[in-house]
Chains A and B, each alone.
Chain A
Amino acid sequence: MSPQKRVKNVKAQNRTSQGSNSFQTTLSAWKVKQGASNSKNISKHGQNNPVGDYEHADDQAEDALQMAVGYFEKGPIKTSQNKDKTLEKHLKTVENVAWKNGLASEEIDILLNIALSGKFGNAVNTRILKCMIPATVISQDSVVKAVSWLCVDKCSGSTKVLFYRWLVAMFDFIDRKEQINLLYGFFFASLQDDALCPYVCHLLYLLTKKENVKPFRVRKLLDLQAKMGMQPHLQALLSLYKFFAPALISVSLPVRKKIYFKNSENLWKMALLAVKQRNRGPSPEPLKLMLGQANVRPLKRKWNSLSVIPVLNSSSYTKECGKKEMSLYDCLNRSGSFPLEQLKSFPQLLQNIHCLELPSQMGSVLNNSLLLHYINCVRDEPVLLRFYYWLSQTLQEECIWYKVNNYEHGKEFTNFLDTIIRAECFLQEGFYSCEAFLYKSLPLWDGLCCRSQFLQLVSWIPFSSFSEVKPLLFDHLAQLFFTSTIYFKCSVLQSLKELLQNWLLWLSMDIHMKPVTDSPLETTLGGSMNSVSKLIHYVGWLSTTAVRLESNSTFLLHFILDFYEKVCDIYINYNLPLVVLFPPGIFYSALLSLDSSILNQLCFIMHRYRKNLTAAKKNELVQKTKSEFNFSSKTYQEFNHYLTSMVGCLWTSKPFGKGIYIDPEILEKTGVTEYKNSLNVIHHPSFLSYAVSFLLQESPEERTVNMSSIQGKKWSWYLDYLFSQGLQGLKLFIRSSVHSSVPRAEGINYNNQY
């Protein structure tokens, strides 16, 4: 028992390490990229990784299964008092694992032996047989061993029947069949048994090769038919024999009959689909849909077999068409080409990139990361056009809200979109077909169906002129945006942030690689920057209105400020000559927010704006020459205005003088006497609680706290306290924008550089 378990564990390890290896060759490239760009987000939101727990649970199940298999191997313990209970427990374990993940071929080997050796009762044997579901494959040897048990007659008739049914159902998952075919004679002899006959017929139907068809067998079959009458299973076998050896069978058989064996008798239908799924690897076809009845499927279903995405086949088929005219040169040339089926690794792709046999259906590249690489670097017009047409038409055909009452396929469509998005992430590039699809489908979209996928498609729109795309996409999106929930608004902002990021990445790459690559868009830098700035202004407009509609929701402000965290750093992070400030509606909402994290984020953004503008100014001075991308003084003025307001509120306690100007008379009417310092770092509604806990920390026994006591030395301690509470944005802002070593409650000398 124990050595076996060790073996098993090693195997399990191998399996996982293999898994990760293959992962590396396929998707790691973009995962890493994604990781880099998202790492900030992840650390910020502090996501927990649930994978650990999950693995743990899996380990436990594995152990329980080992124990159960061991128990069955030992056989029933007669003396044990609670024998039934233990047996039941172990059976349950095996059943659970089998139906969930399938059993390894070693486990099937052991359990099959047990079920057919008659160690346990009939009921137990039946239950064991019913859950003999392979994780991936069944070893041929296990089957041969099992059949040998049938010869010694240890098991009941019903168990035998069940075994044959199982064998038929699992036939496709047996790794090899040569040995089993050698037992053909034995199976054929079992036809005698009336109860077994239909199932044995089915098995033989699957097993028969041309050399198995012998005159004596034909006679036997005809005898059986004479005895039992026209049975569909016998007819099936006979028609197969007739197909292989028409000369031997002169009986006429009904030609039209198509179904000889009823699939409804299959006990393992669900399990089989699951195994197929596992064996095929991650597939775009969800399990549920493969079960869908044929009649509800639209016409196309029947056309393209199972999956939406065609299977990868090299184009030799097409070449074959011209076979007659093929010269010797072509023959030699062809042998030099590299078949896709053999393409397994990236180095292979590099070595054979000049002589790759392209797939016969270009759509199949969507599931193959290596070929996606190929598609990405090849600028071959026919290749791209074939892919474009396929993807456009498939999206149009699959799109569920084009058709009424077609929501059964929703899951399938979602999966298809997911596959496309995976490919786009992998390539870090959007497909034109998807953009064209969005033009057509966005006006009809309800904003609910496949929301996450749809918004991701939006974020992968290839870079283009914003004013051209706006009426086609963004105007429709705006309608949905304003009329939907706050969560929808946040998701839209999130995807627009990603869109901005993708455009910026693309542009920054494009500028630096221009001499090398043959860029698809021959744009001027000014034009590109104009388009990006229009996108940012558009999001600014959406945000301003949304903040009002959602009455300054903190949640929404977070998403808006996330967007501006990208915007403020364009000059430094992407090396692109663009600084766009946020609109006043956003700035003041954030500044007056009741949430300290919003204010902190605002401080961080202001700090980054400052860095970017300073860098831009420095570059201008260095270059001296009048570049076309000098920022207008308006941008600097705007920034200074914001800065003055912020410092006035938070630091100098002169909130409404410069920056936000409010007439003193109006302020008096409000009846708030101490309005001047009510928005500084101590009294600002989002900081007040910090100030109180700071004071309580200082002197916990105090009954009343005196806010005005935070002055002089205490002021800087208080600041250190704030910084220690995670307000890093505030720290950066104060360090860079407020130049004061000895802060006082008022009259600090802050120095605005511009």
Chain B
Amino acid sequence: MDSYDVPESTPSASSRPEDYFVGATPLQKRLESIRKQTSFIPTPPRRKIPQCSQLQEDVDPQKVAFLLHKQWTLYSLTPLYKFSYSNLKEYSRLLNAFIVAEKQKGLAVEVGEDFNIKVIFSTLLGMKGTQRDPEAFLVQILSKSQLPSENREGKVLWTGWFCCIFGDSLLETVSEDFTCLPLFLANGAESNTAIIGTWFQKTFDCYFSPLAINAFNLSWMAAMWTACKVDHYVATTEFLWSVPCSPQSLDISYAIHPEDAKALWDSIHKTPGEVTQEEVDLFMDCLYSHFHRHFKIHLSATRLVRVSTSVASAHTDGKIKILCHKYLIGVLAYLTELAVFQIE
């Protein structure tokens, strides 16, 4: 096949690529950035190791504790249009009515009536990477007990929260009519997530998509989280690989003592404070060869589906559990990056 080359072009005018997009609209700029993203490697070859507590001072420790040790389902979310932090009370009221109406489909529901559920919107002050990041907020659905004698604050039926940690790349591209909270985490029945998601989509013209984590990003997580300094390990470092075979798929679990994992990492790691792509690859390769030596199985031919460490555990389906208070922001920063990548 002959090579493609453009003969001398007919018009004699010269033009450089940069001539093309002087004063382009923001949409054009976005397209430009997508072109760049698509033509090069999607992720930067190096990232910072999550630093010790980057939480802002005014964070409510109770709320943070509430977010830890729970399994969250991840979604990416496009910017919210005309969302206002001063209307949170009003949003609670409307979402409350919407949920009741959805559950009793077909029957009219009056806004403001007393129902047996309660919706609460509240901000998660200080949950941000930089000052520019918009405030994170939490939505909770509580069941109100029927009997007045009991505690009025019933049990939590569903929780979801919206956040943006170091979301600069996204923030730069939208105007002030939008609020960028690209990462949404939900805990509770999926039917509730669906109803609440629908309400947000209708009200703020945004779009939720499930955020899956591919094996490539899982290995990054494994490396970054192993690199974190943890005072006392609460869990073993565990990897789960899936072997696609019929009739049932076969899972291979590989657990290592966290200190051994850390020792392996330290022997690989060179640049302080940073993780590079080569280091991640090398880390995983070491694990593979160790496994191969013992079991004669090439793990590189299988698919990594879950990574759990003392910092957090993540599943390829887009489920995450954060265990370590210290590295909460660091974990969320990486998830925000993945969410932004998905919506760009």
A619 to chain B, nearest CB (A): 14
Which residue of A has the minimal Cβ distance to B94?
Answer: A321
CB-CB under 8 A from A379, the residues of chain B are 25
Q: Is A304 an interface residue (CB 8 A)?
A: yes
A window 274-321: CB within 8 A of B:
299-300, 302-305, 310, 313, 317-318, 320-321
Among B50-58, B152-160, B172-180, B225-233, the one that faces the other chain is B172-180
How many Å lie between the Cα of A463 and that of B19 in the bound state?
A: 14
Chain A's nearest CB lies how many Å from the CB of B36?
Answer: 10
In the complex formed, the residue of A with least CB distance to B191 is A302
Segment among B79-87, B266-274, B278-286, B287-295 that sits at the interface with chain A: B79-87
B190 CB–A CB distance under 8 Å: yes
Docked-complex contact A628 and B202, CB < 8 angstroms:
no
Interface residues on A, range: 35 or more
With A385-B26, A435-B31 given, is the CB distance from A394 to B207 under 8 Å? yes
B147 within 8 A of A: no
Give Cα A534 to B343, complex, Å: 31
Task: Given the known inter-chain contacts A299-B190, A432-B30, please indicate yes or no for A530 contacting B13, CB distance below 8 A.
Answer: yes
Q: In chain A between 390 and 427, which residues have their CB closer than 8 angstroms to a CB of chain B?
A: 390, 392-394, 396-397
A520 to B20, CA, bound (A): 11
In the complex the two chains form, is A628's CB within 8 Å of B87's CB?
Answer: no
- Inter-chain contact B11/A533, CB cutoff 8 Å: yes
A467 and B17 contact, CB distance less than 8 A: yes
Q: Is the Cβ of B1 less than 8 Å from the Cβ of A482?
A: yes
A interface majority secondary structure: helix
Say whether B177 contacts A382, CB under 8 Å: yes
When the two chains form the complex, which single residue of A243, A304, A468 contacts B35, counting CB atoms closer than 8 Å?
A468
Residues in chain A near residue B198, CB distance under 8 A: 303-305
Chain A: minimal CB distance from B184 (Å): 13
B 1-14 binary contact with A (CB < 8 Å = 1; else 0): 11010111111111
Per-residue interface assignment for chain B, residues 49 to 75, with 1 indicating a CB less than 8 Å from any chain A CB and 0 otherwise: 000000000000000000000000000
> Do A393 and B15 have beta carbons less than 8 Å apart?
no
A464 within 8 A of B: yes
CB contacts (< 8 Å) of A188 on chain B: these are none
In the assembled complex, the CB of A630 is this many whole angstroms from the nearest CB of chain B, namely 7
Nearest chain B residue, comparing its CB with the CB of A298: B210
CB distance from A620 to the nearest CB of B (A): 13
Partner of A520 from the list B28, B191, B209 (CB cut-off 8 Å) is B28
**CB–CB A323/B174 < 8 A:** no
A471 close to B202 (CB less than 8 A): no
Complex: how many Å from CA A317 to CA B194?
19
Partner-binding segment picked from A24-32, A577-585, A684-692: A577-585
CB-CB < 8 A to B201: which residues of A? 303-304, 310, 361
Query: How long is the Cα–Cα vector from A579 to B203 in the complex, in angstroms?
Result: 52
- Determine whether the beta carbon of A389 is less than 8 Å from that of B79: yes
CB distance from A374 to the nearest CB of B (A): 16
**A656 in the interface (beta carbon within 8 A):** no
Query: From residue 198 to 220 of chain B, which have CB atoms closer than 8 A to chain A?
Result: 198, 201-210
Of A243, A436, A526, the residue contacting B15 (CB under 8 A) is: A526
- Check if B237 is an interface residue, CB within 8 A of chain A: no
Cβ-closest chain B residue relative to A436? B34
Interface string of A502-536 (1 = CB under 8 A from B): 00000000000000000011111111011101100
Interface size on B, residues (CB 8 A): 61
B90 in contact (CB, < 8 A) = yes
Q: Which residues of chain B come closer than 8 Å to A521, judged between CB atoms? A: 20-21, 24, 28
* CB pair B203 A321 closer than 8 Å: yes
Chain A CB within 8 A of B187 CB:
no
Find out whether the CB atom of A629 lies under 8 angstroms from the CB atom of B25: no
Q: Is the beta-carbon distance between A629 and B11 smaller than 8 angstroms?
A: yes
Among A300, A384, A531, A533, point to the contact of B10 (Cβ < 8 A).
Answer: A533
CB of B38 closer than 8 Å to a CB of A: yes
Q: B78 near A: Cβ within 8 Å?
A: yes
- List residues of chain A with CB within 8 A of the CB of B14: 526
Please pick, from B9, B27, B342, the residue contacting A385 in the complex, using a CB distance under 8 A.
B27
A555 within 8 A of B: no
Q: Is the CB–CB distance between B12 and A384 below 8 Å?
A: no
B297 to chain A, nearest CB (A): 24
B27: A residues at CB distance < 8 A: 384-385, 388, 432, 520
Check A360 against B35 for contact (C-beta < 8 Å). Answer: no
Task: For residue A321, give the distance in angstroms from its CB to the closest CB of chain B.
Answer: 5
Chain B residues with CB under 8 A of A525: 13
Q: Does A747 contact B (CB under 8 A)?
A: no
A393-B343 contact given A467-B17, A526-B15, A537-B7, CB 8 Å threshold: yes
> Is B39 interfacial (CB 8 A cutoff)?
yes
Assuming the contacts A322-B84, A524-B19, A533-B9, asked whether A389 and B203 have C-beta atoms less than 8 A apart, the reply is no
- B197 proximal to A (CB < 8 A): yes
- Cβ-closest 10 pairs across A and B: A526-B13, A527-B15, A389-B78, A393-B207, A529-B11, A522-B22, A439-B38, A382-B177, A465-B20, A522-B23
Q: Which residues of A contact B (CB under 8 A)?
A: 243, 299-300, 302-305, 310, 313, 317-318, 320-324, 360-362, 379, 381-382, 384-386, 388-390, 392-394, 396-397, 432, 435-436, 439-440, 464-465, 467-469, 471-472, 478, 482, 520-527, 529-531, 533-534, 537-538, 541, 545, 577-580, 628-632, 634-635
12 contacts between A and B (CB under 8 A): A303-B198, A304-B198, A322-B87, A388-B27, A397-B209, A435-B31, A464-B20, A465-B21, A520-B25, A545-B1, A577-B11, A635-B10
Given A360-B202, A465-B17, 14 more pairs with CB closer than 8 A:
A299-B194, A310-B202, A361-B205, A389-B78, A396-B342, A465-B20, A472-B39, A520-B24, A527-B20, A529-B9, A534-B6, A578-B11, A629-B12, A634-B8
